[in-house]
């Protein structure tokens, strides 16, 4: 089955650091990738949708200059949390899908980000 790999699984860093999270589709070409954020005991909230080769579309309330998304190839999207602060601590999950209306989303295992 389709596999999405997310790296790193967890990261702890100091406030002010920028952190990059990678999302890779291992056995299929992902024309669209999605980034979600999940705070403790809450649901997954979509942050942005990224299509290969074009700029990401951000959901309302998500700062695009804070959360930089790059989707330069059909198998890789990256989310960079710039100048991270403790309030950015969260669980970040990506998903990937192929071209087509009926294609399922395949989720990565998530990245637990803790900013000290």
Query: Which residues of the chain form contacts with another protein (CB under 8 A)?
Result: 32, 34, 41-46, 49, 91, 93, 95, 97, 101, 103-105, 107-110, 112
Q: How far is the CB of 16 from another protein (least distance, A)?
A: 26
Residue closer to another protein, measured from CB, 34 or 88: 34
For CA atoms 17, 86, 47, 66, give the dihedral sign.
negative
Furthest CA-CA distance within the chain: 42
> How many CB atoms are closer than 10 A to CB 1?
6
For another protein, give the closer residue by CB, 84 or 92.
92
């Amino acid at each position: 089955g389709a596999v999405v790999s997310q790296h790193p699984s967890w990261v702890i860093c100091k406030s002010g650091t920028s952190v990059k999270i990678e999302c890779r589709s291992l056995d299929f070409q992902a024309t669209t990738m999605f980034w979600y954020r999940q705070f403790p005991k809450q649901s997954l909230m979509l942050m942005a949708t990224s299509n290969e080769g074009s700029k990401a579309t951000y959901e309302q309330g998500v700062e695009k200059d804070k959360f930089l998304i790059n989707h330069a190839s059909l198998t890789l999207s990256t989310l960079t949390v710039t100048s991270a602060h403790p309030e950015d601590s969260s669980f970040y999950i990506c998903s990937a899908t192929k071209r087509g209306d009926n294609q399922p989303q395949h989720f990565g295992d998530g990245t637990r980000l803790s900013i000290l």
